[in-house]
């Protein structure tokens, strides 16, 4: 089958979570380096996973403080096309909705994208244009990802 994008664009951002154990005397558990766009993220209540598969990985400890924070401009797509890709490996079944990646800050409509895992392990992806719900779309997967395997 032919590739629908014969010349796909290069990534604008790329975090691999594979930083060495020590980097310039910084605590490696506090920084996620952007290898393309130089917009580094911060890691909170996170530890590096060994072996680092598929490229690098971090473990969030399950607390409310556990997160990877990126600068605000990372998620400001405007009206441009965008792609977000990440890997997940979890067996968590404790939360009704678990934010995986996104820039949604409040409940209700607004300008955001959000990928969340339901307690069942199904993943929902939402995009919304504005506070009126213009072009709002919510898609839910048909397979569970909280089974202890790696999923992209």
Is pTM beyond 0.85? Reply is: no
**What pLDDT score does 2 carry?**
60
Q: What angle do CA 10, 114, 142 make, to 5 degrees?
A: 95
Rama region for 120: left / alpha / beta (φ>0; ψ in -120 to 50; rest): alpha
Residue pLDDT, tens place only, 89-142: 999 888 888 889 988 888 899 988 999 999 999 999 999 989 999 999 999 999
Query: Do residues 18 and 25 lie in contact, with contact meaning Cβ atoms separated by under 8 Å?
Result: no
Query: Would you place residue 1 in the very low, low, confident or very high pLDDT band (cuts 50, 70, 90)?
Result: low
């Amino acid at each position: 089958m032919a590739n629908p994008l014969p010349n796909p664009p290069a990534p604008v951002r790329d975090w691999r979570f594979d930083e060495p154990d020590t980097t310039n005397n910084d605590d490696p558990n506090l920084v996620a380096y952007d290898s393309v766009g130089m917009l580094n993220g911060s890691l909170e209540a996170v530890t590096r996973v060994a072996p680092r598969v598929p490229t690098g990985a971090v473990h969030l400890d399950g607390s409310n403080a556990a997160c990877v924070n990126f600068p605000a401009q990372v998620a400001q797509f405007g009206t441009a096309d965008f792609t977000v890709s990440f890997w997940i490996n979890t067996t968590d079944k404790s939360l009704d909705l678990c934010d995986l990646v996104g820039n949604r800050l409040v409940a209700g409509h607004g300008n955001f994208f959000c990928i969340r895992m339901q307690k069942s392990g199904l993943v929902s992806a939402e995009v919304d244009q504005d506070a009126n719900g213009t072009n709002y779309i919510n898609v839910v997967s048909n397979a569970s990802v909280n089974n202890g395997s790696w999923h992209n």
